[in-house]
Amino acid sequence: MQPVEIIAGNGPIVLGMPHTGTYVPPEIWDGLNERGRALVDTDWHIDQLYDGLLDNVTIIKANFSRYVIDANRDPKGVSLYPGQNTTTLCPTTDFEGEPIYKDGSEPDQQEIERRRQTFHAPYHQAIRDQITRLKDKHRDVVLYDCHSIRSVLPFLFDGTLPDLNLGTNNGTTCANQIEIKAQQICENSVFSTVLNGRFKGGWTTRHYADRDNGVQAFQMETAQSAYLKTESAPWELDAEKAAKLRPVLKQLLTMMTEYCAA
């Protein structure tokens, strides 16, 4: 199993998909408990949700589960949200704060470093390579990080998450025009929307953003209730819900493409 799948288009948009993968190497699988093996915190069907929305798009997808290592976390292990509950670079709990490993099987620092080199590093090398390649073709490129999450997770946030959670790290990761238009598109849809709410953009968005040099970065965290039949196993895509959501996502990606061509 290759850790990363790359589809290289020539347009200015890069879709990052760090959490759609479900591959867990056997030696790690053996250490997971029943809860961990359910892989419930996967960004289920995000690749299908975005499939075909934009021609000539570049897609970088992690094939490994976030329970192996989280490709959207600082490789140094620094928290994205200091003072708030979250999960770590190599998670030992799920989004409900429950252990995902059998007692004594949690990864130590040596194992975390091995996973970083084997999985995390190739994913981010792919992002760097594709941004560099596309910057030779376009004045601006947009790294659009695709995510989803269950809409009710008291361990992480109060209440119910809006359908569309836009993250620009409080306006620092992309051009103001992109942020403003993205918010307008989402607010004019039927979906509830928030800008820089609980999710302001993860490490990927923050790390690669370089507005002065034409690298715009944007995160979309979609509540799974907006496109799944239920937020529980077997995690089935709801075709009717997806059909309502996909045009909004397409409008966002088209707007960003037009920004890069202006």
Residue 80's pLDDT band (cuts 50, 70, 90): low
Q: Kindly state the tokens that stand for 249.
A: 């996502």
| Structural domain boundaries in the chain | 4-261
Q: What fold, for 4-261? A: Aminopeptidase (3.40.630)
Could you tell me which residues come within 8 angstroms of residue 96 by beta carbon, excluding any fewer than 6 positions away? 153, 154, 155
pTM: 0.96
- Residue with the bigger pLDDT between 106 and 87: it is 106
User: What is the predicted pLDDT for the residue at 262?
Assistant: 81
Q: 202-237 as b/e, with b when 16 or more CB fall inside 10 Å?
A: bbbbbbbbebeebbbbbbbbbbbbbbbeebeeebee
User: What is the predicted pLDDT for the residue at 77?
Assistant: 74
Residue 76's pLDDT band (cuts 50, 70, 90): confident
User: What is the predicted pLDDT for the residue at 79?
Assistant: 64
The whole-angstrom separation of Cα 254 and Cα 50 is 12
